[in-house]
Structure 1
Amino acid sequence: MSNPWKEIKLSDYENHMKLDSILQLQALNQIMKKQFLQFPVKTIMVLGVAGGNGLEHIKPQSVDKLFAVDINSEYLKACKERYPYLKKIMQPICIDLLSENCYLPHAQLIIANLLIEYIGYECFQRVIVGVAPEHVSCVIQINIDAGFVSDSPYIHVFDNLECVHHQIDEQATIKAMNDIGYNMVCNEETVLPNKKKLVRFDFRRC
């Protein structure tokens, strides 16, 4: 079965995420601003970049290379169209991280927001070890009283995500990173309108 993220239209995804009852697109944008400013690095990799929400916070004069990684080639096409001023530093990479033959270049910083839920800890660990970044900043979603996909007019667009969704939590995320040699250096929560919360972790390689 093909990964369902290959079939979800970017417009449906973004329109769902930015609804007033959800506000995840807006919250992630501000989180990414902090992530980009937090680390004085020259090479950045964004895993699950989608349409590039948050990339406007990158200062191209301060970064040598931006690897924009996603499984959906249409998402990457949108990134290039939306951010032409990042053309000199941005390298789109269309790849399925679950593939056994997945290879990614080295980057000093990996940003992975709302990604671990869809590839699982084992795959995420394998990707981090392969890229060998000095820093990892990731966001996970904690569902307090709701399902992992919030109710909206677009909810059925995401029906097939059940087959790739993994249950995750804060302590398991920290342990997974500790097991591959990364210590948590920052932890921040953002509460959303529908009682969900986004939890940001920053890790540094030991």
Structure 2
Amino acid sequence: MNNPWNSIYLSDYENHMSSDTVMQLQVLNDMMKVQLNSYPATSVMVLGVAGGNGLEHIDTDKYSAVYGVDINQEYLQEVEKRYSNLGNILKCLCIDLSAESSALPNADFVVANLLIEYIGYECFQSVIKQVKPKYISCGIQINTGEEFVSESPYLHSFDGLNSIHHQIELTELKNHMDCIGYRYLSADEYPLPNGKKLVKADFESEFTL
């Protein structure tokens, strides 16, 4: 089955996410700035990088490798254009995490914002066991009703996502991360204009890597 993310135009995604009723692109950008400056990592993997929102906060004196991972090759081509200033530090990888996680390289730090919702807890565990990061920072959406896609003129561009969406809860995420040796560090809430909120949850490996 073709993943529905391959059928969503990046322009529709970004216009929806930045609209006044959603505002998630802006909030995620602020979140990424915090995430990228929180831990002593020299390599970072951004899962579900889309168009690269937040990569402008990469400190090239700190990071020697930035992996942008997405299932949509067109998204990654746009990332390479937008962030050509990162040069060889930026490495874009077109990978279906549900089937090809074994192709992922290792990284000190994994950022996964609005990603676990589309692969599920168990697949995310497999990804983390492959990448073996010291630190993980996840952005998950807490909904106020049954609809996980917020209202906007671009709403119907996302109709296909119902087939792969998983509702993620912080307690369950903690349990699944604990099962693979990652201890919960902290969570921060980012309110959204429609009553929903994003929660940033951070974890650290309990093992010496």
Q: Secondary structure at the match of 2:81?
A: helix
* TM-score (structure 2 length as normaliser): 0.96
Q: Secondary structure at the match of 1:51?
A: coil
* Alpha-carbon contact 2:66-2:89 (below 8 Å) kept: yes
Match of 1:70 in 2: 70
Moved over 4 A (4+): none
Match of 1:52 in 2: 52
Q: Quick one: which amino acid aligns to residue 35 of structure 1?
A: Q
* Alpha-carbon contact 2:95-2:101 (below 8 Å) kept: no
- Of Structure 1 and Structure 2, the greater helix share is in 2
Deviation at 1:186, TM superposition (A): 1.5
Match of 2:94 in 1: 94
* Alpha-carbon contact 1:95-1:102 (below 8 Å) kept: no
Identity of aligned residues (%): 52
Tell me whether 1:41 sits opposite 2:50 in the alignment. no
* Alpha-carbon contact 2:101-2:126 (below 8 Å) kept: no
Deviation at 1:91, TM superposition (A): 0.6
Distance 1:28 1:203 in 2: 18
Q: In angstroms, what is the RMSD of aligned CA positions?
A: 1.0
Alignment of 1:152-171 (within 5 A): 152-171=152-171
Q: Quick one: which amino acid aligns to residue 140 of structure 1?
A: I
Distance 2:107 2:165 in 1: 26
Distance 1:6 1:102 in 2: 21
Match of 2:140 in 1: 140
Deviation at 1:27, TM superposition (A): 0.1
Deviation at 1:102, TM superposition (A): 3.6
Distance of aligned partners of 1:2 and 1:126 in 2 relative to their CA distance in 1, 3 Å threshold:
same
Q: Quick one: which amino acid aligns to residue 163 of structure 2?
A: C
Match of 1:28 in 2: 28
* Alpha-carbon contact 1:146-1:196 (below 8 Å) kept: no
Superposed CA deviations along residues 29-68 of structure 1, whole A, max 9, x for unmatched, are 0000000000121110000000000000001122110111
Deviation at 1:101, TM superposition (A): 6.1
Structure 2: state its 5+ residue gaps: none
Distance 1:177 1:135 in 2: 11
Alignment of 1:103-182 (within 5 A): 103-145=103-145, 147-182=147-182
Distance of aligned partners of 1:67 and 1:101 in 2 relative to their CA distance in 1, 3 Å threshold:
closer
What is the aligned length?
A: 206
Deviation at 1:145, TM superposition (A): 2.8
Deviation at 1:100, TM superposition (A): 5.2
* TM-score (structure 1 length as normaliser): 0.98
Q: Secondary structure at the match of 1:22?
A: coil
Distance 2:171 2:156 in 1: 30
Structure 1: state its 5+ residue gaps: none
Q: Secondary structure at the match of 2:97?
A: coil
Distance 1:101 1:147 in 2: 29
Deviation at 1:107, TM superposition (A): 0.2
Q: Secondary structure at the match of 1:87?
A: helix
